[in-house]
A = this chain, B = another copy of it.
Amino acid sequence: MENKPVHVVVLGAGFGGLTFCQSFFHPHARVTVVDRQNHHLFQPLLYQVASAGLSAPDIAQPVRSILANKPGVTVLMDNVVDFDLNNKTIRLEKSSLTYDYLVLALGSVTGYFGHPEWEQFAPGLKTLDDALRIRRQVLMAFENAETESDPAARERLLTQVVVGGGPTGVELAGTFAELRRFVLASDFKHINPVNARVVLIEAGPRLLAGFSETLSQAAYDQLKHLGVEIRLSSPVQNITEHCVELAGGETIVSNNIIWAAGVSASPLTKKLGVNLDRAGRIKVNPDLSLPGHPEVFAIGDIALVFNENGAQVPGMAPAAMQMARHVGRIINEELTFPGRVYRPRFHYHDRGTMATVGRSAAVAKIKRFEFAGFFAWLIWLFVHLMFLIGLRNKISVFLSWVYSYLTYKRGARLITGLDKDVPV
């Protein structure tokens, strides 16, 4: 081991993979991190790119430059093709990697609960490409409505449907309602954007099921105040082109349907040959290793993990980051004390959750304290700025927020990608 360093391969440079690379160091180990994108994406603000408030580069940072000063870390931009866990080998598109330790941090994709055919009509929001496509679609709908003479077609263009009342759905519905009401209100001559509808659909009896009933109600009231139509206890029966059918019988016609109702683990987990839950997550051991493969760990959204009390660890950035540090500590100790067999179990420390609804409106739960309204919104702003990577991005996002707050405008009202043959 003195001559040949131990090779740790990390798949994915999201919150989990990146935190592992940043926190792990051992003089006898080298780390290779593989991601299919060149950038780490700050997903919590992705909805603000989709709604034209932030530029794509504001919430993305090249993985290479984040890790440029980490000794012993190599970054590869490549796609994972297959795993051979028995021979400790990963096949990538452009090369193969053998590992001594493997950290799977592949993240999640939009999940359609067994209805993959809905994706074409109701895209999700997981990548920057998704966000830029949604931004283009939403802004184009208003442009097309301005020149549309058929009232039914115009209404379809001016109706925005968001499926799913979790944090992402609430944030999207809120930001689209504001876009319509404040940002676009005075810019059109033939249509009145204020008459555009935003409909938020939730299968369960309340929004933000992960929060208390008080905070759910607060988010509900804040969205209502923005003019969002909310359908609770309304599971989606079917989605076809421009059409959402609800269980209650209602049909909503819209050119702009966004799916924010669920995620599943990266489909690559299916190639591992291990036990998965319905959402494709890996049923890991309490130490986050894979059953039968102590040298392989799964962290973040692809891992199905429970605390001692039986509560499932949520698929959120702080959980992925805590898992990354946990696995880093285990590997570090095993390299420092060869032969060590004891591994602690992972325990998730819930430091709080929050969701923003719009201008001066948010809900937040921190330990036992709950906040709704302006103060929750300030906490939300502060926490997101703090965790955003890179001083340049912090300053740029902060200024964009100040600008939007003062002017009621959005700085990235930009339609790109109209050249159909040019995927940019």
Docked Cα-Cα span, A218 to B56, in Å, equals 37
Known: A76-B147, A77-B143, A423-B420. A56 touches B414 (CB 8 A): yes
Task: From the candidates B39, B55, B95, name the one contacting A415 in the complex (CB within 8 A).
Answer: B39
Q: Are B132 and A416 in contact (CB under 8 A)?
A: yes
Within 8 A of B (CB), among A137-162: 139-140, 143-144, 146-148
Interface centre among A36, A39, A55, A407 (most CB of B within 10 A): A55
Docked Cα-Cα span, A133 to B416, in Å, equals 11
Q: Is A13 an interface residue (CB 8 A)?
A: no
Task: From the candidates B56, B418, B420, B422, name the one contacting A55 in the complex (CB within 8 A).
Answer: B56
Q: Are B129 and A419 in contact (CB under 8 A)?
A: yes
Known: A132-B424, A147-B78. A38 touches B68 (CB 8 A): no
Return chain B residues, CB-CB under 8 Å to A57.
55, 411-414
Q: Is A26 an interface residue (CB 8 A)?
A: no
Return chain B residues, CB-CB under 8 Å to A140.
38
| Closest B residue to A390 using CB positions | B411
Docked Cα-Cα span, A189 to B67, in Å, equals 11
Stretch of A108-116, A226-234, A240-248, A391-399 at the chain-chain interface: A391-399
Q: Is A403 an interface residue (CB 8 A)?
A: yes
Known: A55-B58, A411-B57. A418 touches B37 (CB 8 A): yes
Known: A57-B55, A78-B147. A187 touches B62 (CB 8 A): yes
Docked Cα-Cα span, A423 to B416, in Å, equals 9
Q: Is A2 an interface residue (CB 8 A)?
A: no
Q: Are B415 and A419 in contact (CB under 8 A)?
A: no
The 3 closest A-B pairs by CB, nearest first: A132-B424, A55-B55, A57-B412
Q: Which residues of A are interface residues toward B (Cβ below 8 A)? A: 36-39, 55-58, 60, 62, 64-65, 68, 74-78, 94-95, 127-130, 132-133, 136, 139-140, 143-144, 146-148, 186-189, 392-393, 395-396, 399-400, 403, 407, 409, 411-424
A-B contact pairs, 8 of them (CB 8 A): A36-B418, A55-B55, A65-B409, A78-B147, A128-B414, A128-B416, A129-B424, A392-B400
